Amino acid sequence: MDTRTFRVFRFARDDGPSRFDTFEVEAAPGDTVLDALRWIKIHHDPSLAIRHSCFHASCGTCGVRVNGREALACVTRVGDQDEGRVTVEPLANFPVIADLVVDMTSFVQRFPSPHPAARISEFPTSPEVPPGIDEYQRFEDCIECGLCLSACPVAATDDTYVGPAALAYAQRILEEPRGADVGALLDWADGDNAAWRCHAAFECTEACPSNVRPAQRIMHLRRALTGGRDGGS
Amino acid sequence: MSRSEDELDVIRAAREARGPVLRRSPGPTAWFDIRKTGTGHWAFSLNRITSLGLVLYLYLHLAVLSMLLGGEGSWHGFLEIATTPVFLGLDVLLVFGLLFHGLNGLRVALVGTGIATERQKALFWSFMVLGSILLLGAALHIIGSD
Amino acid sequence: MTQSASRTSSGAHVLIIGGGGTGGALAHDLALRGLRVTLVERGEFTSGTTGRHHGLLHSGARYAVNDHESAVECIEENRLLRTIAPGSFEENDGLFVAVSDEDMEYLPRFLEGCAVSGIPTQQLTPEQALRLEPMLNPRLKAAVRVPDATMDAMRMPLRFFATAKRNGASLLNHLEVTGLLVHDGVVSGAAVRDHVTGRDAEIHADVTVNATGPWSERIATMAGVDVPIRPSPGVLLAVHGRLCNMVINHLHASGDGDIVVPQRALSIVGTSSWVVEDPDDLGVPGDHVARMVTEGSKLIPAVATATHRAAWSAARPLIGSRGDADSGRELSRTFKTIDHAAEGGAEGFVTITGGKGTTLRGMAEVCADVVCRKLDVDEPCRTRETVLLPHIAYFAA
């Protein structure tokens, strides 16, 4: 059985400062970082606090930084990491609750209202939909994982920036209003800490595991704000 | 208060005792965070750092020009310093700052108006290659012109 | 809904162990009845079985032939959930697709079972089905439309947590039960370890509910009682590409890989079934993953060539005694509330177990009725008519 060395960030709120614990983990190359973390929790240290739920990049709860890069632990293969130690840390720019668990409250609170979960499905295109159904629906791509906010250098500089996920969501509502007040949304996007604070690092698009492409959407949002096209992507 | 309410309060109080804990306070120190390896992060950070450098240069440049008021003698004194290797090296650094800030800024401006958003990484590296060629030329000119 | 956070006239406190969909729905139900509720979960909410399923909002049609009780539960809750959690479903319906002659032999029993269970069906020709779902196996022989839907397996249950929290329930994740407080056959609460601070504590309650799904037996043992639960995992496979909008089921008696559920830009193929002892150690058998591809591609050929996003296992909590069944498929998918006092086991302790993602509200109602009876609290269930808060309300400060 293959063994990899994992270096995991630890922080307990009642204790002293944070530290890194090192574990020798039985992990085959095809195993995921989440598999390794759960193996540590079950075989070594049950006090390791981690978040996970769906195991297939749909719930967005297992966001961490693996060897310095943002990733969803459940679909990040151990075998894809560079030789040597695998370092796992919590997301950046989020308050840490304990170990790898971060507080999602301030992230979620940055989203504009409303926050519709479903959108029109664009694929696969079908000639018909079942009678009684207007159009096929699907959930928005954004899984609210926060990898984008962790990767964003502006958010690292100033935590009042609303961040890529919130702006990308606003742009999606511009594309498909679903009854939202588009004028109010544009005002929000035009605000002090919104669309104009992005400096095109594109780290958010790089980090996004769900093809939201937040950086591109922010640029489209700016076009809409300057009277250009209606934010279509 | 019931016993279980007390128990929960103790658990909550212990959890909240340290308040929200950010590993790194937000601020300009983020521009120097070597754990960050993304290209975009360094493009952003270098843009901030070069802008500070260029502002500092502007101030120094004005200070130098004001030496002209001191007449030919003080200007010659400056030229002696200005031809030392250290100073020439700083000149090369200045050219780097101008080129990086200018070309990266051009990328940000283009992408910010919706141009090349899907190829922005290629755009960045093309500009970096262009900038490197120009920097090399400028460096040879500056150092060779002695 | 602004129920006061303080105690009811009886002052009773209910401790729920287990933060899956069932625990969350139960916290919501009891909070609406005015009880003081504390829920503890050792990891993140829905990190057990609830968050891992493919997201099917069951029409119940899969159980129409062999498990009538489950089928009726499903279709009732299917309808209810759409009204109390609007906006949390891709309401695209589903298809049961026959691809072989054996499947066609199953068709009449299937239609009859659905009719008897109150599940509306609509038979379609292969041409009609292909117009609705162009990526189906072009050699399909028949299709039946049913009211399946797709949910986000974590976010839909999170709405129950959000509403319960707003109504005064204390929801504590990363708090693990290390033992139950038992004296003279009476369970008076639980000993817990807080993984956030590393400290130990005790939580006292008038009734303790075991809502831990496949871990039910582990908790029940702490009270000295037995719960006939066999963790029965199944493998799921997520492939890249949204290959369908409707839920696609194989029209046959339950078998491996007989469902494809769309999840955003992925397609989830499920599932298989075996039985284990330890719900923390499920494994992901490679041959099961291969079977998902083989079976799934009978419904949608593109499954065979799609790249894989993830393969994982989730354990169903199946009710059945140690001697029953070997694969898990034979056990019923219904749910069960066990008042351990009634069986001479332990006072102050109730287990709610079994069931499936779709029936979380119904399970909670039955369990809440039992809990209220034990506490002599006369409050009706209000969850059928209470619209849930959006999931992001959970994160409101």
Average confidence (pLDDT) over C114-122: 97
- CA atoms of C97 and C252, how far apart (whole Å): 9
Q: Does A33 lie at the interface with C, CB-CB under 8 angstroms?
A: no
What pLDDT is recorded for position A232? 53
- Chains in contact with A, where contact requires at least 3 CB pairs less than 8 Å apart: B, C
Tell me the percentage of chain B whose pLDDT exceeds 70. 98
Q: Does B12 lie at the interface with A, CB-CB under 8 angstroms?
A: no
Question: Which residue of A116, A127, A210 is in closest CB contact with C264?
Answer: A210
Say if B17 falls within a structural domain.
Answer: no
What pLDDT is recorded for position B73? 83
Boundaries of every domain in chain C: 9-55+152-228+321-397, 91-151+230-319
Question: Which residue of C7, C197, C203 is in closest CB contact with B7?
Answer: C203
Which chain B residues are within 8 Å of A202, Cβ to Cβ? 40, 111, 120-121
Cβ of A69 within 8 Å of Cβ of B112? The answer is no
Whether residue C343 is predicted with pLDDT greater than 80 in this model: the reply is: no
Whether residue C175 is predicted with pLDDT greater than 90 in this model: the reply is: yes
Q: Does A180 lie at the interface with C, CB-CB under 8 angstroms?
A: no
Tell me the percentage of chain C whose pLDDT exceeds 70. 94
Average confidence (pLDDT) over B87-93: 90
What residues of chain C, 369 to 388, have a C-beta less than 8 Å from chain A?
none
Chain B residue with CA closest to C14: the answer is B4
CATH of the domain at B69: 1.20.1300
Cβ-in-10-Å burial (0-12, 13-18, 19+) of C127 comes to exposed
CATH number for the C9-55+152-228+321-397 domain, one of 3.40.1350.10, 3.50.50.60, 3.30.2320.20, 3.30.565.10? Answer: 3.50.50.60
Which chain A residues are within 8 Å of C82, Cβ to Cβ? none
Question: Which residue of C44, C133, C395 is in closest CB contact with A53?
Answer: C44
Cβ of A206 within 8 Å of Cβ of B117? The answer is no
Per-residue tens of pLDDT for chain A, all 233 residues = 789 999 999 998 877 889 999 999 999 999 999 999 999 999 999 999 999 999 999 999 999 999 999 999 999 999 999 989 999 999 999 999 999 999 999 999 999 988 899 999 999 889 999 999 999 999 999 999 999 999 999 999 999 999 999 999 999 999 999 999 999 999 999 999 999 999 999 999 999 999 999 999 999 999 999 886 544 54
What pLDDT is recorded for position B19? 74
Q: Which residues of A touch B (CB under 8 A)?
A: 11, 13-14, 18, 68-69, 90, 92-97, 103, 151, 153-159, 199-203, 206-207, 215-216, 219-220, 222-223, 228
Which chain C residues are within 8 Å of B2, Cβ to Cβ? 7, 11, 13
- CB-based contact C20:C50 (threshold 8 Å): yes
What pLDDT is recorded for position C94? 98
What are C99-113's pLDDT values in tens digits?
A: 999 999 999 999 999
What pLDDT is recorded for position A148? 98
Write phi, then psi, for A178 (nearest 5 degrees).
Answer: 50, 40
Average confidence (pLDDT) over C190-217: 96
Q: Where residue B81 falls among pLDDT bands split at 50, 70, 90?
A: confident
- CB-based contact C329:C318 (threshold 8 Å): no
- CB-based contact C356:C20 (threshold 8 Å): no
Cβ of A118 within 8 Å of Cβ of C193? The answer is no
When the pLDDT of each residue in chain C is averaged and rounded to a whole number, the result is: 93
Q: Does A58 lie at the interface with C, CB-CB under 8 angstroms?
A: yes
- Chains in contact with C, where contact requires at least 3 CB pairs less than 8 Å apart: A, B
Say if B109 falls within a structural domain.
Answer: yes
How many other C-beta atoms are found inside a 10 Å radius of the C-beta of residue C259? Answer: 24
Whether residue C5 is predicted with pLDDT greater than 80 in this model: the reply is: no
Say if B117 falls within a structural domain.
Answer: yes
Cβ of A59 within 8 Å of Cβ of C46? The answer is yes
- CA atoms of A219 and A233, how far apart (whole Å): 9
Chain A residue with CA closest to C199: the answer is A14
- CA atoms of A72 and B85, how far apart (whole Å): 50
Can you read off the two tokens belonging to residue B32?
């120097």
- CB-based contact C28:C169 (threshold 8 Å): yes
Can you read off the two tokens belonging to residue A103?
């507080």
Element (H, E) at C220: helix C216-222
Whether residue C89 is predicted with pLDDT greater than 50 in this model: the reply is: yes
What pLDDT is recorded for position B5? 85
What pLDDT is recorded for position C229? 86
Question: Which residue of A53, A111, A140 is in closest CB contact with C47?
Answer: A53
pTM confidence score = 0.94
Q: Where residue C170 falls among pLDDT bands split at 50, 70, 90?
A: very high
C91-151+230-319 maps to which CATH number? Answer: 3.30.9.10
- CB-based contact C69:C362 (threshold 8 Å): no
Say if B113 falls within a structural domain.
Answer: yes
Cβ of C244 within 8 Å of Cβ of A211? The answer is no
Q: Does A3 lie at the interface with C, CB-CB under 8 angstroms?
A: no
Q: Does C246 lie at the interface with A, CB-CB under 8 angstroms?
A: yes
Least trusted range by pLDDT, from C13-17, C26-30, C353-357: C353-357
Tell me the percentage of chain C whose pLDDT exceeds 90. 85
Polymer length in residues for chain A: 233
Q: What is the interface pTM, i.e. ipTM, of the complex?
A: 0.96
Average confidence (pLDDT) over C33-60: 97
Question: Where on the phi/psi map is residue C115: left (φ > 0), alpha (ψ -120 to 50), or beta?
Answer: alpha
When the pLDDT of each residue in chain B is averaged and rounded to a whole number, the result is: 89
**CB within 8 Å of B8: residues ≥ 6 apart:** C38, C170, C172, C203
Nearest chain B Cα distance for residue A93, angstroms: 7
What pLDDT is recorded for position C331? 52
Chain B residue with CA closest to A232: the answer is B114
Q: Where residue C3 falls among pLDDT bands split at 50, 70, 90?
A: very low
Return the residue in B4, B12, B16 with the most chain C beta carbons within 10 A, the one to mutate for interface testing.
B4
Instruction: Note the Cα A82 to chain centre separation in Å.
Output: 23
Domains (range + CATH), chain A: 3-102 (3.10.20.30), 105-225 (1.10.1060.10)
- CB-based contact C56:C357 (threshold 8 Å): yes
Q: Which domain holds residue B101?
A: 40-144
What are B18-56's pLDDT values in tens digits?
A: 777 888 889 999 998 888 888 999 999 999 999 999 999
Q: Count the domains in chain B.
A: 1
Chain C residue with CA closest to B7: the answer is C203
Residue-wise DSSP of A119-131: EE--SS--S---T
Whether residue B146 is predicted with pLDDT greater than 70 in this model: the reply is: no
Which chain C residues are within 8 Å of A54, Cβ to Cβ? 51-52, 153-154
Q: Does B145 lie at the interface with C, CB-CB under 8 angstroms?
A: no
Give me the torsion for CA of A203, A204, A207, A212, rounded to 10°: -140
Closest CA to A129 of C358, C365, C244, C188: C244
Question: Which residue of C11, C36, C202 is in closest CB contact with B7?
Answer: C202
Cβ of C38 within 8 Å of Cβ of B2? The answer is no
Q: Does C60 lie at the interface with A, CB-CB under 8 angstroms?
A: no
Q: Does A17 lie at the interface with C, CB-CB under 8 angstroms?
A: no
Closest CA to C36 of C167, C126, C151: C167
Average confidence (pLDDT) over C126-154: 97
Write phi, then psi, for B144 (nearest 5 degrees).
Answer: -80, -15
Chain C residue with CA closest to B10: the answer is C201
What pLDDT is recorded for position C377? 95
Which chain A residues are within 8 Å of B50, Cβ to Cβ? none
Average confidence (pLDDT) over C140-168: 98
Q: Does B49 lie at the interface with A, CB-CB under 8 angstroms?
A: no
3-state helix/strand/coil string of chain B: CCHHHHHHHHHHHHHHCCCCCCCCCCCHHHHHCCCCCCHHHHHHHHHHHHHHHHHHHHHHHHHHHHHHHHCHHHHHHHHHHHCCHHHHHHHHHHHHHHHHHHHHHHHHHHHHCCCCHHHHHHHHHHHHHHHHHHHHHHHHHHHHCC
Q: Where residue C397 falls among pLDDT bands split at 50, 70, 90?
A: low
Cβ of C264 within 8 Å of Cβ of A139? The answer is yes
Write phi, then psi, for B100 (nearest 5 degrees).
Answer: -65, -50
CA distances from A172 to A32, A201, A219, A220, B109 (A): 31, 20, 12, 10, 23
- CA atoms of A160 and C309, how far apart (whole Å): 34
Can you read off the two tokens belonging to residue C327?
């694969």
Least trusted range by pLDDT, from A213-217, B112-116, C6-10, C244-248: C6-10
- CA atoms of C230 and C336, how far apart (whole Å): 13
